[in-house]
Amino acid sequence: MTALQGKLVLVTGASRGIGAATAEALARSGAHVILVARTASGLEQVEDRIHEAGGSATIAPLDLTDGEAIGKLATAVAERWGQLDILVMNAAMLGTLTPVEHIDPKEYARVLGINLLANQALIAAFDPLLRRAKKADVIGVTSSVGREPRAFWGAYGSSKAAFEILLGAYADETDHTGKLRVTVLDPGATRTRMRELAFPGENPESVKSPEVVAERIVQLLSEERATGARVRVD
Protein backbone atom coordinates (compact mmCIF):
# COMPACT_ATOMS: atom_id res chain seq x y z
CA MET A 1 0.00 0.00 0.00
CA THR A 2 1.21 3.51 -0.80
CA ALA A 3 0.04 7.00 0.11
CA LEU A 4 -1.69 7.20 -3.29
CA GLN A 5 -3.47 3.86 -3.03
CA GLY A 6 -7.10 4.37 -3.99
CA LYS A 7 -6.66 8.04 -4.87
CA LEU A 8 -8.38 9.38 -7.99
CA VAL A 9 -6.21 11.50 -10.26
CA LEU A 10 -6.96 13.37 -13.47
CA VAL A 11 -4.04 14.21 -15.79
CA THR A 12 -4.40 16.35 -18.91
CA GLY A 13 -2.08 16.02 -21.89
CA ALA A 14 -1.73 12.38 -20.85
CA SER A 15 -1.16 10.85 -24.28
CA ARG A 16 2.60 11.53 -24.36
CA GLY A 17 5.53 13.32 -22.74
CA ILE A 18 5.30 14.56 -19.17
CA GLY A 19 1.57 13.84 -18.98
CA ALA A 20 1.93 10.20 -20.00
CA ALA A 21 4.94 9.63 -17.75
CA THR A 22 3.13 11.25 -14.81
CA ALA A 23 0.01 9.17 -15.34
CA GLU A 24 2.06 5.97 -15.40
CA ALA A 25 4.04 6.94 -12.30
CA LEU A 26 0.89 7.78 -10.37
CA ALA A 27 -0.73 4.51 -11.42
CA ARG A 28 2.35 2.59 -10.26
CA SER A 29 1.91 4.32 -6.90
CA GLY A 30 -1.62 2.94 -6.56
CA ALA A 31 -3.78 5.76 -7.90
CA HIS A 32 -6.57 5.32 -10.43
CA VAL A 33 -5.76 7.76 -13.23
CA ILE A 34 -8.18 9.46 -15.60
CA LEU A 35 -6.25 10.09 -18.81
CA VAL A 36 -7.30 13.20 -20.75
CA ALA A 37 -6.10 14.31 -24.20
CA ARG A 38 -7.51 14.82 -27.67
CA THR A 39 -5.96 11.73 -29.24
CA ALA A 40 -7.75 8.53 -28.24
CA SER A 41 -5.10 6.26 -29.78
CA GLY A 42 -2.35 7.84 -27.70
CA LEU A 43 -4.41 7.54 -24.54
CA GLU A 44 -5.13 3.89 -25.27
CA GLN A 45 -1.40 3.17 -25.52
CA VAL A 46 -0.78 4.79 -22.13
CA GLU A 47 -3.74 2.94 -20.64
CA ASP A 48 -2.40 -0.36 -21.99
CA ARG A 49 1.00 0.26 -20.40
CA ILE A 50 -0.64 1.10 -17.08
CA HIS A 51 -2.76 -2.05 -17.14
CA GLU A 52 0.20 -4.22 -18.16
CA ALA A 53 2.09 -2.86 -15.13
CA GLY A 54 -0.79 -3.78 -12.84
CA GLY A 55 -2.27 -0.31 -12.49
CA SER A 56 -5.71 1.08 -13.27
CA ALA A 57 -6.77 3.92 -15.55
CA THR A 58 -9.70 5.30 -17.51
CA ILE A 59 -9.34 7.22 -20.77
CA ALA A 60 -11.35 10.38 -21.46
CA PRO A 61 -10.60 11.71 -24.96
CA LEU A 62 -11.76 15.31 -25.28
CA ASP A 63 -10.86 18.72 -26.64
CA LEU A 64 -9.95 20.93 -23.69
CA THR A 65 -11.15 24.01 -25.55
CA ASP A 66 -14.67 22.58 -25.32
CA GLY A 67 -15.97 23.85 -22.01
CA GLU A 68 -19.15 21.84 -22.33
CA ALA A 69 -17.13 18.61 -22.71
CA ILE A 70 -15.15 19.46 -19.56
CA GLY A 71 -18.38 19.98 -17.67
CA LYS A 72 -19.74 16.64 -18.86
CA LEU A 73 -16.54 14.90 -17.77
CA ALA A 74 -16.81 16.44 -14.29
CA THR A 75 -20.41 15.25 -14.06
CA ALA A 76 -19.39 11.73 -15.10
CA VAL A 77 -16.56 11.66 -12.55
CA ALA A 78 -18.93 12.88 -9.82
CA GLU A 79 -21.47 10.19 -10.64
CA ARG A 80 -18.90 7.38 -10.69
CA TRP A 81 -16.44 8.36 -7.95
CA GLY A 82 -17.98 11.28 -6.05
CA GLN A 83 -14.75 13.21 -5.61
CA LEU A 84 -11.35 13.98 -7.14
CA ASP A 85 -8.14 13.80 -5.08
CA ILE A 86 -5.54 15.15 -7.52
CA LEU A 87 -5.75 17.32 -10.64
CA VAL A 88 -2.64 17.63 -12.82
CA MET A 89 -3.02 20.31 -15.50
CA ASN A 90 -0.26 19.52 -17.96
CA ALA A 91 -1.72 19.98 -21.46
CA ALA A 92 -0.27 22.95 -23.35
CA MET A 93 0.26 24.38 -26.83
CA LEU A 94 3.57 25.98 -27.85
CA GLY A 95 2.46 27.97 -30.89
CA THR A 96 4.88 29.71 -33.24
CA LEU A 97 7.98 31.29 -31.73
CA THR A 98 7.92 34.75 -33.28
CA PRO A 99 8.40 38.46 -32.44
CA VAL A 100 5.46 39.96 -30.56
CA GLU A 101 4.47 42.15 -33.51
CA HIS A 102 4.21 39.07 -35.72
CA ILE A 103 2.03 36.95 -33.43
CA ASP A 104 -0.92 35.57 -35.36
CA PRO A 105 -4.12 36.54 -33.52
CA LYS A 106 -5.93 33.30 -34.33
CA GLU A 107 -3.03 31.12 -33.18
CA TYR A 108 -2.56 33.27 -30.07
CA ALA A 109 -6.21 32.71 -29.22
CA ARG A 110 -5.67 28.94 -29.49
CA VAL A 111 -2.56 29.13 -27.27
CA LEU A 112 -4.49 31.09 -24.63
CA GLY A 113 -7.44 28.74 -25.05
CA ILE A 114 -5.38 25.65 -24.18
CA ASN A 115 -2.84 27.09 -21.76
CA LEU A 116 -5.12 29.39 -19.78
CA LEU A 117 -8.85 29.26 -20.48
CA ALA A 118 -9.08 25.45 -20.51
CA ASN A 119 -7.34 25.28 -17.15
CA GLN A 120 -9.75 27.79 -15.64
CA ALA A 121 -12.60 25.67 -17.00
CA LEU A 122 -11.06 22.57 -15.42
CA ILE A 123 -10.76 24.29 -12.06
CA ALA A 124 -14.33 25.55 -12.26
CA ALA A 125 -15.71 22.13 -13.19
CA PHE A 126 -13.70 20.05 -10.72
CA ASP A 127 -13.49 22.43 -7.74
CA PRO A 128 -16.59 20.90 -6.08
CA LEU A 129 -15.10 17.40 -6.44
CA LEU A 130 -11.72 18.50 -5.09
CA ARG A 131 -13.44 20.04 -2.05
CA ARG A 132 -15.16 16.71 -1.32
CA ALA A 133 -11.78 14.99 -0.95
CA LYS A 134 -10.22 14.70 2.50
CA LYS A 135 -7.07 16.28 1.06
CA ALA A 136 -6.73 17.46 -2.53
CA ASP A 137 -3.83 18.58 -4.72
CA VAL A 138 -3.88 20.74 -7.83
CA ILE A 139 -0.66 20.81 -9.85
CA GLY A 140 -0.26 23.19 -12.78
CA VAL A 141 2.66 22.67 -15.16
CA THR A 142 4.24 25.97 -16.19
CA SER A 143 7.48 27.16 -17.82
CA SER A 144 10.37 29.43 -16.90
CA VAL A 145 9.28 31.81 -19.69
CA GLY A 146 6.16 32.51 -17.65
CA ARG A 147 8.37 34.48 -15.25
CA GLU A 148 11.42 35.33 -17.34
CA PRO A 149 10.54 37.03 -20.65
CA ARG A 150 12.46 35.66 -23.62
CA ALA A 151 12.66 36.95 -27.18
CA PHE A 152 10.19 35.21 -29.55
CA TRP A 153 8.40 33.44 -26.67
CA GLY A 154 5.85 36.22 -26.07
CA ALA A 155 2.72 34.25 -26.91
CA TYR A 156 3.56 31.08 -25.00
CA GLY A 157 5.26 32.93 -22.14
CA SER A 158 2.35 35.30 -21.57
CA SER A 159 -0.09 32.38 -21.50
CA LYS A 160 1.99 30.68 -18.80
CA ALA A 161 2.41 33.92 -16.83
CA ALA A 162 -1.37 34.31 -16.77
CA PHE A 163 -1.76 30.65 -15.79
CA GLU A 164 0.58 31.14 -12.82
CA ILE A 165 -1.42 34.17 -11.65
CA LEU A 166 -4.64 32.15 -11.99
CA LEU A 167 -3.18 29.33 -9.90
CA GLY A 168 -1.89 31.75 -7.29
CA ALA A 169 -5.31 33.35 -6.94
CA TYR A 170 -6.97 29.94 -6.62
CA ALA A 171 -4.43 28.99 -3.94
CA ASP A 172 -5.27 32.15 -1.96
CA GLU A 173 -9.00 31.61 -2.36
CA THR A 174 -8.91 28.02 -1.10
CA ASP A 175 -6.21 28.36 1.57
CA HIS A 176 -8.80 28.78 4.33
CA THR A 177 -10.18 25.29 3.69
CA GLY A 178 -6.94 23.70 4.90
CA LYS A 179 -7.54 20.77 2.58
CA LEU A 180 -6.73 21.94 -0.95
CA ARG A 181 -3.10 22.56 -1.96
CA VAL A 182 -2.02 24.23 -5.21
CA THR A 183 1.46 23.76 -6.67
CA VAL A 184 2.97 25.52 -9.68
CA LEU A 185 5.44 23.11 -11.27
CA ASP A 186 8.21 24.22 -13.64
CA PRO A 187 9.60 20.99 -15.15
CA GLY A 188 12.72 22.65 -16.56
CA ALA A 189 14.39 21.36 -19.73
CA THR A 190 12.74 18.02 -20.51
CA ARG A 191 12.80 15.65 -23.47
CA THR A 192 9.35 16.26 -24.95
CA ARG A 193 7.80 16.86 -28.36
CA MET A 194 7.27 20.51 -27.43
CA ARG A 195 10.94 20.85 -26.51
CA GLU A 196 11.92 19.28 -29.83
CA LEU A 197 9.78 21.81 -31.71
CA ALA A 198 11.23 24.73 -29.76
CA PHE A 199 14.87 23.59 -29.98
CA PRO A 200 15.16 21.50 -33.18
CA GLY A 201 18.96 21.41 -33.15
CA GLU A 202 19.27 20.20 -29.56
CA ASN A 203 20.49 16.71 -28.72
CA PRO A 204 17.50 15.13 -26.93
CA GLU A 205 19.83 13.11 -24.72
CA SER A 206 21.24 16.34 -23.28
CA VAL A 207 18.06 16.99 -21.26
CA LYS A 208 16.22 14.87 -18.71
CA SER A 209 13.46 12.44 -19.58
CA PRO A 210 9.77 13.03 -18.74
CA GLU A 211 10.04 10.18 -16.23
CA VAL A 212 12.28 12.34 -14.02
CA VAL A 213 9.58 15.01 -13.82
CA ALA A 214 6.91 12.37 -13.22
CA GLU A 215 8.76 10.89 -10.26
CA ARG A 216 9.21 14.37 -8.80
CA ILE A 217 5.46 14.95 -9.07
CA VAL A 218 4.81 11.72 -7.17
CA GLN A 219 7.26 12.86 -4.49
CA LEU A 220 5.61 16.28 -4.24
CA LEU A 221 2.32 14.70 -3.30
CA SER A 222 3.82 13.27 -0.11
CA GLU A 223 5.80 16.37 0.91
CA GLU A 224 4.78 19.16 3.27
CA ARG A 225 4.44 22.39 1.33
CA ALA A 226 2.45 25.62 1.52
CA THR A 227 -0.29 26.09 -1.05
CA GLY A 228 0.69 28.27 -4.01
CA ALA A 229 4.34 27.17 -3.92
CA ARG A 230 6.37 27.13 -7.12
CA VAL A 231 8.62 24.10 -7.60
CA ARG A 232 11.24 23.63 -10.31
CA VAL A 233 12.60 20.26 -11.43
CA ASP A 234 16.28 20.61 -12.34
| Residues known to be catalytic | 156
Amino acid at 36: V
Q: How far apart are the C-alpha atoms of 48 and 85, rounded to whole Å? A: 23
Asked if residues 45 and 39 have their Cβ atoms less than 8 Å apart, the reply is: no
Identify the bridge partners of residue 182 per DSSP, sorted by sequence position: 138
3-class secondary-structure state, position 138: strand
Asked if residues 26 and 213 have their Cβ atoms less than 8 Å apart, the reply is: no
Asked if residues 23 and 52 have their Cβ atoms less than 8 Å apart, the reply is: no
Amino acid at 111: V
